[in-house]
Amino acid sequence: MSSTKKVAVIVGSLRAESKTRALAKAIIAEAPAGLEFEFAEIGDLALYNEDLETDTPPAPWTRFRNQIGDVDAVLFVTPEYNRSVPAALKNAIDVGSRPYGKAVFSGKPAAVVTASPGGVGGFGANHHLRQSLVFLDMPVLQQPEAYIGGLWEMFDDEGNVKSEGTRKFLGSIATAFAALIAKNA
Ligand code: FNR
């Protein structure tokens, strides 16, 4: 049996040139061996509505639920919108949390990385997201905390993280997350 662990990466920004998505890629680049990452896309998930929770729910809901159900862990990388979680990300959490009793997130280790062009690093979004993950019974990486400021200055023209210190910090997040995943395997 392979010891490789599959990690779904959910990015809270939908825009094509998202700096947060670039940050997610930078974390992946610094991750230790033994983790396999795949992006779980959330932009096409219909707004959660219990009326759609039939025997044939929207196909993107089913795709998303199957994908999350199939991984060992989930890495959330998100900007902050109005001091909270972007609606698209909250919607994805709601979609994955239902039908009742069948939440695909349940028990899967998670890590939360928030980012902002400002200095506060998405602290509000980070902890609002953690509140939902408690309810979903996901063991969440506690340290290092990841409130990444200066998002718009972080990358060079090729999309590489300019600061070696930042690269090392991103690597330390991925390494600690790998340990949490192994502990919960
Ligand atoms: C923002 N932004 C923002 N930033 C922040 O630090 N705290 C906040 O509360 C908000 N609120 C907010 C609301 C909305 C609706 C938007 C569109 C933006 C700015 C945000 O951090 C910035 O646009 C990031 O660059 C978004 O990430 P991506 O799209 O580059 O990944």
pLDDT tens digits in sequence order for the chain, 185 residues long? 458 999 999 999 999 999 999 999 999 999 999 999 999 999 999 999 999 999 999 999 999 999 999 999 999 999 999 999 999 999 999 999 999 999 999 999 999 999 999 999 999 999 999 999 999 999 999 999 999 999 999 999 988 999 999 999 999 999 999 999 999 99
Comparing CA positions, the residue from 50, 39, 48 lying closest to residue 12 is: 39
**Ligand 1 atom with minimal separation from the 12 CA:** 31
Tell the burial category of 166 from Cβ atoms under 10 Å away from its Cβ (0-12, 13-18, 19+). middle
Query: Which residue segment(s) compose the domain that 23 sits in?
Result: 5-183
Q: Considering the entire predicted model, what is its pTM?
A: 0.98
Cα 110 from Cα 115, distance rounded (Å): 17
Q: How many domains does the chain have?
A: 1
Whose alpha carbon is nearest atom 26 of ligand 1? 79
Report the separation in Å between the CA atom of 116 and the middle of ligand 1, taken as the mean of its atom positions: 6
Domain harbouring 73, CATH code = 3.40.50.360
Tell which phi-psi region holds residue 72, choosing left (phi > 0), alpha (psi between -120 and 50) or beta: alpha
Query: Residue holding tokens 């999350």?
Result: 68
Substitution site in 82, 89, 114, 148 for ligand 1 pocket (most atoms within 8 Å of beta carbon): 82
